[in-house]
Amino acid sequence: MNKLLHNNILFTLTLLGIATALAFLFFSFVSENTANIALLYIIAQILIARYTNGYLLGLFSSVFSVICINFFFTYPFFRLNFTLSGYPVTFIGMLIITLLTTATTSRLKKQTEILAKQEKQVQIARQESLRANLLRAVSHDLRTPLTSIIGTTSSLLSDGSILSV
């Protein structure tokens, strides 16, 4: 397993753990309104989508979040019960939010990479242009005196005996 994937998995698990701990804290103070707990998991999913690569961890976090909400924070507690009214809507909603966020952030990351490559190519083109201009300037500065030296030398060689000092 490469290091980037390992870091992404660790980041995902850490954020989901933090979201779960905050959800338990929130639930202990306001146990009758568990709808806001889903927002904690949605925030975690958005952060996971933003700071990890690929869709798999986003999908995992979505499914994990829905299962945690169902298992820990809806009656009957500590049991999975997907037959609750409105629960499929919550599951589908969280899944859609995760997919859209992951797709958007993945696209933005790819566009950022493309822009970085284009910027690097522009920088290389600028350096090449500067190098070519410097070479032309040096070449011109050397050719001008060389032309007069060659002309004078040529005159001396061909007509050196006629010319006076």
Query: Is-contact 35 84, C-beta < 8 A?
Result: no
Neighbours of 62 (CB within 10 A): 25
Interval 9-57: pLDDT, tens: 899 999 999 999 999 888 888 766 667 788 888 889 888 888 887 778 8
Helix, strand, coil percentages (3-state) for the chain, rounded to 5, are 80, 0, 20
> Per-residue DSSP letters for 101-159?
HHHHHHHHHHHHHHHHHHHHHHHHHHHHHHHHHHHHHHHHHHHHHHHHHHHHHHHHHHH
pTM: predicted TM-score of the whole model, two decimal places: 0.63
Mean of pLDDT over the chain: 82
Which of 44 and 90 is assigned the larger pLDDT? 44
Residue 147 to residue 142: CA distance in whole angstroms: 9
74 vs 24 pLDDT, higher one: 24
Asked if residue 105 lies in contact with residue 58, where contact means CB atoms within 8 angstroms, the answer is: no
Name the pLDDT band for 165 (thresholds 50, 70, 90): low
Q: Find the distance separating the first CA and the last CA of the chain, reported in whole Å.
A: 85
Confirm if 94 and 66 have CB atoms less than 8 A apart. Answer: yes
**pLDDT band (50, 70, 90) for residue 88:** confident
Query: Does 65 score more than 70 pLDDT?
Result: yes
